[in-house]
Amino acid sequence: MALSDYLITDDLTIILALVAAGLFLLHNLYKPQALVHPILLGRQSDAARVRNPSESAVYRNYGTGMLGRFPLRPNKDQQVVLDLVKPDADAPRTLWSTKIANPQLKERIANVGAGLTRAVGLVPQESNVLLLLNDSIEFIIADLALSALSVPTFTVASASVLSPVLERHPPSVIITDAEVLPHLLELIFDAHESEHHTIVVVGDINSAKLPKLNNVKILRWDDIETEGAAATKSPLSVPDPNDVYTVSFFATPSGDLEGAQLTHLNLTAGVAATRALLPPSSAMSPLDTIVSAFPLSTPYGRAVAYTALFEGTGFATVDSTKLIKPEGSAAIGLKDLRTSAAYSISSPTLLFIRPDHLDSLTEAITQQASKSSWSLYNFAWRHKLAGIFEGYITKQSLWDRLVFDGARIKVMGKGAGTVRAVIVSGGPLEAQNLTPARIALSVPVINAHSHPLVAGPVFATHALDLQTFPTASPSLSASAADAYAFTYLAPVGPPTVNVEVKLVGVDDAAVEDGGDPIGALHVRGPSVGRPLSVEEETQEEEERGWRSTGERAKVAANGTFKVAPAGKA
């Protein structure tokens, strides 16, 4: 038979050919477009052209560049922390359970400031006030009032640091909660000090049975506020942005007490960096509601709270931020996240949470989704994962409507519809948990890195970055902890817009050969606070301001970092 006999075409051929052509076009051209072009993800930080021996180059965010200036504040009007409460924004919003607008907030701040000065006799720049409050609007009011009075505030990141702080840095006044008061009085009693303490208590103390102490004067917050409202307020001098306005005490991994001295400039820069976490197309606005798992007593938590304050969003924190955790409480995971519902904020839109919250949220959603229909769930998962490999994720796809939306509503309630971005920090996040979280939530999940010295994030991934790298074989590293971290943890992205980092103690030979630099992480920038343990600064411009974080990090060729959490020294 001739060749032409084989190539018989008939009507069926035409139909099949059309269908084949249609499928070809569908398969090759109907690919979802990546949310961010991959070329941008290949160069996420800008590296210096020269590096010192045994150090890596200095890295900055690519948007800022080595020659760019760091943003110091969200707007030129925000010079000191009190300016973050914008006077002309008068729409009310809910902070924890209080609905308040900025002018009323500023009034309350002024009242408390005047009341404290009268009742306690604070001397600007000399007195110190210890804020031992759980996260609440009183914390913010007290902090801002004292910043306006130029009285430094002390905060403790955890209750374990409290007794060393009382010992070594005795404050003039302590402002505390009725919940924390018994614990505090116990500590003072045990210390057998003869120093006179003045304690201002928020909340109802009549019902509590308190030990009687002679050297302790207890005042009530409500009394102070009403007194201050009645008093005439003299205009206060505006503090210098470089004045230390708060010190946050925390414990280093080796157990020592360390304090981060934060100036007004550190906090405004931290707010600028936190705002830059979200892309400009989906920036924060007064329509948002932020739920944070980071206590206000830490610089990062404070920066998040003040960003919420500045943007006019609603704000609440979860129960694990409390100083003294109540007995039998679930301090991690989904149960902790749900405690924010106790406040009267609207449904959250932005979540600043820890890896354990993200993991348990993802697990709950995927379990719920797979319960409905196992084969449909697998199908949906498969398609969503294929989309992620193309760099694309959306909450409005067919698979969400069929499978995931129902699961999300069961797990997150109203949050299923409102949560639009999740920022994870405060602990190591494993790479294998990140992609399932992205699929389950289908919103931008930003992996960030925070440090007790820095107001605001230190590193943060690009909001629309969906790259999934295979788990590489563990390479030789100095320690097992390093090897585990750099193999299994998710990258935390480039430095934020106003932080520069360098790695110290790198192997020069390996780096000159093209290997990834690995070393101890040092940071510098306007949002980095000054540790109390650093007494003198070196005079040289090049060396000044570098703070050791105590963590080890590794840079990849695309400018993203992986940080191994600080272990015991």
If one asks whether residue 518 binds another protein (CB under 8 A), the answer comes out as no
> In DSSP terms, which residues pair with 292 in a beta bridge?
317, 352
Under rule CB under 8 A, which residues in 52-71 are in contact with another protein? 52-53, 56-57
If one asks whether residue 10 binds another protein (CB under 8 A), the answer comes out as yes
| Interface pick for another protein out of 2, 12, 398, 476 (rule CB under 8 A) | 12
Site string for another protein, 334-373 (x = CB under 8 A): ----------------------------------------
Cα–Cα nearest to 266, from 425, 84, 108? 84
Task: Specify the residue, 43 or 414, whose C-beta has the smaller distance to another protein.
Answer: 43
- Burial label, 391 (beta-carbon count in 10 A; 0-12, 13-18, 19+): buried
Q: Which helix (H) or strand (E) holds 472?
A: none
| Interface pick for another protein out of 208, 233, 344, 469 (rule CB under 8 A) | 469
If one asks whether residue 48 binds another protein (CB under 8 A), the answer comes out as yes
Stretch that binds another protein, among 5-13, 110-118, 157-165, 532-540 (CB under 8 A): 5-13
Task: Specify the residue, 13 or 226, whose C-beta has the smaller distance to another protein.
Answer: 13
- CA distance to 29, 393, 435, per residue, from 33 (Å): 10, 10, 18
**Which residue in this structure is represented by tokens 């007490």?**
257
Stretch that binds another protein, among 19-27, 140-148, 166-174, 359-367 (CB under 8 A): 19-27
**Region for 321 from its dihedrals, namely left if φ exceeds 0, alpha if ψ lies in -120 to 50, beta otherwise:** alpha
If one asks whether residue 51 binds another protein (CB under 8 A), the answer comes out as yes
Task: Specify the residue, 249 or 561, whose C-beta has the smaller distance to another protein.
Answer: 561
**Region for 442 from its dihedrals, namely left if φ exceeds 0, alpha if ψ lies in -120 to 50, beta otherwise:** left
> In DSSP terms, which residues pair with 447 in a beta bridge?
424
Q: Say if residues 100 and 92 touch (Cβ distance below 8 Å).
A: yes
| Interface pick for another protein out of 106, 338, 383, 395 (rule CB under 8 A) | 383
Q: Which helix (H) or strand (E) holds 520?
A: strand 518-524
Work out the end-to-end distance of the chain between its first and last CA atoms, rounded to an integer number of angstroms.
Answer: 84
If one asks whether residue 470 binds another protein (CB under 8 A), the answer comes out as yes
Stretch that binds another protein, among 40-48, 138-146, 203-211, 336-344 (CB under 8 A): 40-48
Under rule CB under 8 A, which residues in 494-513 are in contact with another protein? 508, 511-512
Please give the Cα distance from 390 to 466 (Å, whole number).
Answer: 9
> Strand 93-95 vs strand 530-531: parallel, antiparallel, or unpaired?
unpaired
Stretch that binds another protein, among 47-55, 74-82, 248-256, 480-488 (CB under 8 A): 47-55
If one asks whether residue 26 binds another protein (CB under 8 A), the answer comes out as yes
Task: Specify the residue, 4 or 194, whose C-beta has the smaller distance to another protein.
Answer: 4
Task: Specify the residue, 47 or 95, whose C-beta has the smaller distance to another protein.
Answer: 47
| Interface pick for another protein out of 123, 230, 287, 386 (rule CB under 8 A) | 386
- Smallest gap from Cβ 561 to another protein, in A, equals 13
Stretch that binds another protein, among 38-46, 97-105, 324-332, 521-529 (CB under 8 A): 38-46
Size of the residue set binding another protein (CB under 8 A): 55
Please give the Cα distance from 79 to 265 (Å, whole number).
Answer: 7
Q: Which helix (H) or strand (E) holds 303?
A: helix 299-311
Phi, psi at residue 292, to the nearest 5°? Answer: -120, 140
| Interface pick for another protein out of 2, 4, 27, 212 (rule CB under 8 A) | 27
The separation between CA 204 and the C-alpha centre of its own chain, rounded to angstroms, equals: 32
If one asks whether residue 541 binds another protein (CB under 8 A), the answer comes out as no
If one asks whether residue 391 binds another protein (CB under 8 A), the answer comes out as yes
| Interface pick for another protein out of 1, 2, 4, 49 (rule CB under 8 A) | 49
Q: Say if residues 437 and 284 touch (Cβ distance below 8 Å).
A: no
Please give the Cα distance from 177 to 221 (Å, whole number).
Answer: 10
Residues 6+ apart with CB under 8 A from 532: 247, 258, 259, 260, 261
- Smallest gap from Cβ 553 to another protein, in A, equals 14
Stretch that binds another protein, among 1-9, 297-305, 363-371, 482-490 (CB under 8 A): 1-9
Q: Say if residues 284 and 350 touch (Cβ distance below 8 Å).
A: yes
Cα–Cα nearest to 222, from 205, 199, 197, 203? 203
Q: Interior CA angle at 546 toward 540 and 551, to 5°? A: 150
If one asks whether residue 516 binds another protein (CB under 8 A), the answer comes out as yes
Stretch that binds another protein, among 108-116, 206-214, 514-522, 533-541 (CB under 8 A): 514-522
- Secondary structure (DSSP) of 426-454: SS--BHHHHHHHHHHH-S-EEEEE--TTB
If one asks whether residue 16 binds another protein (CB under 8 A), the answer comes out as yes
Beta carbons within 10 angstroms of residue 27's beta carbon: 9
Task: Specify the residue, 31 or 371, whose C-beta has the smaller distance to another protein.
Answer: 31
Task: Specify the residue, 15 or 238, whose C-beta has the smaller distance to another protein.
Answer: 15
Residues engaged in binding another protein (CB under 8 A) = 6-10, 12-13, 16-17, 19-20, 23-24, 26-27, 34, 37-39, 41-43, 46-53, 56-57, 382-383, 385-386, 389-391, 466-470, 508, 511-512, 514, 516-517, 555-559
